Structure 1
């Protein structure tokens, strides 16, 4: 076992990657049954980082058992945090004790594996007055520079240099409040600055802040820890900093991307899934657009029932946008759905410039897709055909899995590390709902 893998396993002993380098998917099987929606990948990671702000215990419930959580667990443990895990019917719970934080003990190998590690900058600067962080890795879906993060932290008094691919940041006298105008509502930058601001002296105002539910979830957890934040859920966040933070318990919100992805899977296979714990409001504009495309979502006491509408799948036009717009993370699964919809569709990606890398893989399966700049034009075909394909990021891997579930024949999906990063026990859960899948 590689040293980095061993450190991950020590920090997250529940992590057991499924064997095999490829996933064989036999298409044509209807998905039916109950699917418990887990905690949001995009919410739990900043929540784990926020636990570094206090020496008191922070307990997170409904933690998804995914690779990214295991990686970040290894990073936090290397920084000195203690981690205790428990399991119940609702899933994993994690208690973090950061009574000691060693800001220079950053695991460069683990940082290179995930984008969310950039959030350590704000936490370590706020708590320790320094941070040394290699440029973070993660999905290859675009530039996603950290300029907005660094500019905001500099406005709060940090000195930051980029030397040999390493971010050197210092604030020996602590951070101070500032008025920060984000050029665009970046989720990561909003989270990083929010985390930093709760310990900074004075008032910080983040304008043009991201409004995604995951940002709201982070803010609500910070308030439970004693932070004073106004404007939660809106485009302007005002943080009164320098308040002592206490411990807290917080349940991670349901994963809206999982909700949308599995709703597409139910419609694509003409199945019937009860998405337990799902809330349609989390989907924002994606809910009505998917409904227009033929994805029927019916609220019930336990969540949402997802199935194909009586009129079948129909081509639609969509454009990704910050929340409450259509989430960029749902663009890839939506494309897999629309590849076999009646008529034409147009998908415009406005967030990440390289988030069409799954297009060529869908074409291998018979999809009719033409790219013009940031817009993909689709002409629906009656059915895709199984083929060898490779996932290049978390959402592309999920999209190709969906395409394989609805295709004729067998699809061999590679790039499973991407699938594991954001989807818990995908094979076992799909098998329980009637899919024919096997990791080899």
Structure 2
């Protein structure tokens, strides 16, 4: 069975919705609770599938998780951590890539860990080599088998010095979760410094970790013998907030995103205004709206923080199909992120993708035969179509296109969107969207 959404588009989204904690942070903070000797309390937790997956994996390892979805809180008690059965981990993890981040904490607590075959959104290779190399440098023994990867640390983990060839968010998270209990000092150069990474540093510091972050992307961690639990309120989900802002712009609407915060969204807000959108920052959230008139074409390049976030790119591209002139978008973070534009072209958008690095400096994909630049010509009216959701962010972008298009679109596989967008159909209803959802046989 798969979920199908019939969307009657062509109407502006108007109203108010709420975003809670960031998908890209909350699951990592949940894993961090494994490192503590006492319980933790995490607030502002969204009801999304990734949280459910991590909850199940924690419970398989003996962590008691008490959730209050209405209040958005999780109580995590790791006092009885134990090894989980391989088959249970494999079955529960599904396509999630989060098990790789369990390795460091489990090696500290149990001396061993297991990773099943990893899935995730199809937006690039996203290899786990960085992760395994990091764990090996800490002293972990890695054994690859047909069913997954077994790791052991019979002599414990030791601090190390690591230089990343690219500021990978996942690799930086891996190092932080491993280094805080490793013996000695760890230094990471070329680190990712996204707001979600900094909030994870905040959590670990509350637990008793000693971490310094330099301005040159160098993170230093002094390992400690013990960490306690934490109490923490997750930062807001800047990706979801920007997605609804782009939906307001593409549909000519007006959406107040309660819970959205300005500091993590500065780069997006600047770009939003350049395109011709307007916003009002308030204490309780941010209002995004189309002020009328033409939208403007832009030149845009994604980058690691503090650059324009790759997860903001796909929703904004839908709005750029309605901008006057030629927009150029250069994707430098994930090599295959423009696969989602095929559906937009089928709906009437004029988009061409290129292997060259257009509109910015040469990037690491320029000589590797990837279609990682796009030219969008607009404005072009969008027409309803049958759409297959390819991945989380691309799927929400297709949903925006369906909302902007004239006629009724059928969007298949929208359960993928549940991974990172809390109660998104209820939010669509609150914004006046016309749609129906049903389960159909594949």
- Corresponding residue for 1:110? 92
Take 1:234 and 1:26, find their aligned partners in 2: how far apart are those partners?
49
1:214 deviates by 0.7
Correspondence 1:303 to 2:285: yes
Question: Secondary structure at the residue paired with 2:315?
Answer: helix
Change in 2 beyond 3 A, CA 1:338/1:331: same
1:163-242 matched pairs, under 5 angstroms: 163-231=145-213, 235-242=217-224
Correspondence 1:409 to 2:391: no
- Corresponding residue for 1:16? none
Correspondence 1:363 to 2:345: yes
Take 1:104 and 1:233, find their aligned partners in 2: how far apart are those partners?
40
Take 2:149 and 2:400, find their aligned partners in 1: how far apart are those partners?
38
Deviations 1:212-255 (A, max 9, x none): 11101111011111111111786111111124111111111100
Take 2:142 and 2:270, find their aligned partners in 1: how far apart are those partners?
43
Q: 1:95 aligns with which of 52, 59, 75?
A: 75
Q: 1:375 aligns with which of 369, 373, 377?
A: 373
Q: Do the aligned partners of 1:55 and 1:100 also contact (CA within 8 Å) in 2?
A: no
Q: Do the aligned partners of 1:273 and 1:305 also contact (CA within 8 Å) in 2?
A: yes
Taking only aligned residues, the RMSD between alpha carbons, in angstroms, comes to 1.6
Correspondence 1:61 to 2:43: yes
Take 2:28 and 2:85, find their aligned partners in 1: how far apart are those partners?
19
- Corresponding residue for 1:82? 64
Q: Do the aligned partners of 1:127 and 1:199 also contact (CA within 8 Å) in 2?
A: no
Correspondence 1:334 to 2:316: yes
Change in 2 beyond 3 A, CA 1:232/1:128: farther
1:37 deviates by 1.5
Q: 2:393 aligns with which of 392, 395, 404?
A: 395
Question: Secondary structure at the residue paired with 2:379?
Answer: coil
Correspondence 1:140 to 2:122: yes
1:24 deviates by 1.1
Q: Do the aligned partners of 1:285 and 1:325 also contact (CA within 8 Å) in 2?
A: yes
> Once structures 1 and 2 are overlaid, which stretch shifts more, 244-253 or 128-137?
128-137
Question: Secondary structure at the residue paired with 1:25?
Answer: strand
Question: Secondary structure at the residue paired with 2:182?
Answer: coil
1:428 deviates by 0.9
1:163 deviates by 2.1
Take 1:214 and 1:68, find their aligned partners in 2: how far apart are those partners?
16
Q: Do the aligned partners of 2:391 and 2:416 also contact (CA within 8 Å) in 1?
A: yes
Correspondence 1:292 to 2:271: no
Take 1:333 and 1:385, find their aligned partners in 2: how far apart are those partners?
17
Question: Secondary structure at the residue paired with 2:240?
Answer: helix
Question: Secondary structure at the residue paired with 1:285?
Answer: helix
Q: Do the aligned partners of 2:252 and 2:292 also contact (CA within 8 Å) in 1?
A: no
- Corresponding residue for 2:423? 425
Q: Do the aligned partners of 2:350 and 2:380 also contact (CA within 8 Å) in 1?
A: no
Q: Give TM-score, length-normalised by structure 1.
A: 0.92
1:300 deviates by 1.7
- Corresponding residue for 1:10? none
Q: Do the aligned partners of 1:298 and 1:305 also contact (CA within 8 Å) in 2?
A: yes
Q: Do the aligned partners of 1:87 and 1:93 also contact (CA within 8 Å) in 2?
A: yes
Change in 2 beyond 3 A, CA 1:209/1:298: same
Q: Give TM-score, length-normalised by structure 2.
A: 0.91
Question: Secondary structure at the residue paired with 2:44?
Answer: strand
Deviations 1:181-228 (A, max 9, x none): 111110000001100111101111111110111101111011111111
Number of positions where the alignment pairs a residue of Structure 1 with one of Structure 2: 420
Question: Secondary structure at the residue paired with 1:344?
Answer: strand
Q: Which runs of 5+ in 2 are unaligned?
A: 356-371
Q: Do the aligned partners of 1:112 and 1:138 also contact (CA within 8 Å) in 2?
A: no
- Corresponding residue for 2:12? 30
- Corresponding residue for 1:21? 3
Change in 2 beyond 3 A, CA 1:220/1:326: same
Take 1:376 and 1:54, find their aligned partners in 2: how far apart are those partners?
46
Q: Which runs of 5+ in 1 are unaligned?
A: 1-18
1:409 deviates by 0.8
